[in-house]
Amino acid sequence: MKKRVTLTIENNILDQVDKEVDGHKIKNRSHAVELYLLKALGVSVPKQALILAGGEGTRLRPLTHEIPKPLIPLQSKPLLEYSLDLFKKFGIKDIYISIGFKGDKIKEHFGDGSKFGVKITYIEEDEPLGTAGPLRLAKRYIKGSFIVCNADELKDIDLVDMFLFHKDNNASATIALTSVDDTSKYGVAKITGNKILDFVEKPKKEDAPSKFINSGLYIFEPEIIDYIPEGSAMLEKDVFPKLAREGKLFGYPFAGYWKPIGTMEEYDEAIHDLKKEKFKL
């Protein structure tokens, strides 16, 4: 619940606040002030994040014959480190990484995280558990709202604004949505207001319910873990449809950079974007 208040503020401070308003990322003066207050109070983002890094990366062979996909290099830095950079940017340093395929190499590279300015705890999969299964293994560590993201994407998302959106909607789960022109390669969100009703798999452009797709980053409440079946499970098939039916699944559209890195073509595009500084945290 929000309350209307009246504040008396120096003109020069208001001028600085107004410079932050762009009508999209920061919608108005009230929105800007709220974000400033959240940051000042230190309650602006979840304190824990889980990175899903257990996949085999078969479409990136031969690169992934020897190393797991999260360790493929991008400008002399492994792909997974860019997710750490995003979280550190927002003060999130309690990191959990689910590992499976060649997970020992990920542990060897990142260790306890101290060299990277974070604390890392590993969630080890004895067998592949999909995108949802690792959350059950991490349940004993979760202490409140938490972030989950895929390890195989570059993304720049305002996590403060996303968390504010998540709380404003009293959501159990919020998916960061990015827009694409070619919807035929993705699951496309069917939305009403801020709620996600469903995902339509790989529709033609003329049949797509929107241009918004799942970007692979989520804010969850601990209760969603109870929706996950035992063993291997997928967020996309086993969890999100249940939450959508109950009106607990929300979509947060963002305009920041996003690039999946699942194929050699996408890998080449990411290298080009980094060289041209199209992506820069």
The residues annotated as belonging to the active site are: 202
DSSP for 65-117, please give it: HHS-GGG-EETTEEHHHHHHHHHHHTT--EEEEEE-TTHHHHHHHHTTSGGGT
Q: Which residues pair with 164 in a beta bridge?
A: none
Structure tokens given for 102: 């060649």
H or E segment and range at residue 48 = strand 48-53
Token pair listed for 134: 């690792």
CA angle at 240 for the pair 23 and 260, rounded to the nearest 5°: 60
Supply the DSSP string of 208-220, one letter for each residue. Answer: -S-SEEEEEEEEE
Buried/exposed 109-136: b ≥16 CB within 10 Å, e otherwise: bbeebeebebebebbebeeebbbbbbbb
- Strands 73-74 vs 77-78: parallel, antiparallel or unpaired: antiparallel
What does the alpha-carbon distance between residue 177 and residue 253 come to, in Å, rounded to a whole number? 5
Helix (H) / strand (E) containing 265: helix 264-275
